[in-house]
Amino acid sequence: MAFSEQSLVPLSRETQFFSLFSYETEDSLERVAARGYFRPAAGLLRRRDVIVVYAGMEDKPAIGLFVVTAADAKRNLVRVADFAGLEILRSGGHAFRLLPVAGASKPDEGGPAKRGRGAEAA
């Protein structure tokens, strides 16, 4: 599947520092983290925005916490970094634990993955 703007739901908007979004898709977390996935949202997203992604909900559910490291509507550019990459092992009212998903915390545009405060794609 491709990015769906209707699935990008603002949870908080227009704060001084960042906006918070929710995004649910059948795509895998790895696909969502791929270069250019959020490009169609270049006019909607700003640097420092946070996107909580619920990915692969039918086959292999996973949660990603993405931070927008660059957004430019004129250049049709969005860069994100996944800081969580957590796989859901069990859910549906039962206890569950979260495990890191292989390949998480990689920026969507080349370069080494970075974690934590100040981590930003080049």
The per-residue pLDDT for range 105-120, each reduced to its tens digit, is: 444 444 334 434 344 3
Query: pLDDT at residue 32 above 60?
Result: yes
Residue 54, CB-side half-sphere exposure with 13 Å CA sphere: 9
Paired residues of 88 in beta bridges: 98
The per-residue pLDDT for range 59-68, each reduced to its tens digit, is 888 888 999 9
In degrees, to the nearest 5, what angle opens at C-alpha 107 toward C-alphas 28 and 46?
Answer: 95
For the whole prediction, is pTM greater than 0.85?
no
- Cα dist. 68→28, 63, 98, 99, 120 in Å? 19, 16, 23, 23, 9
Rounded Cα distance between 60 and 40, Å, is 25
The whole-number pLDDT of residue 117 equals: 38
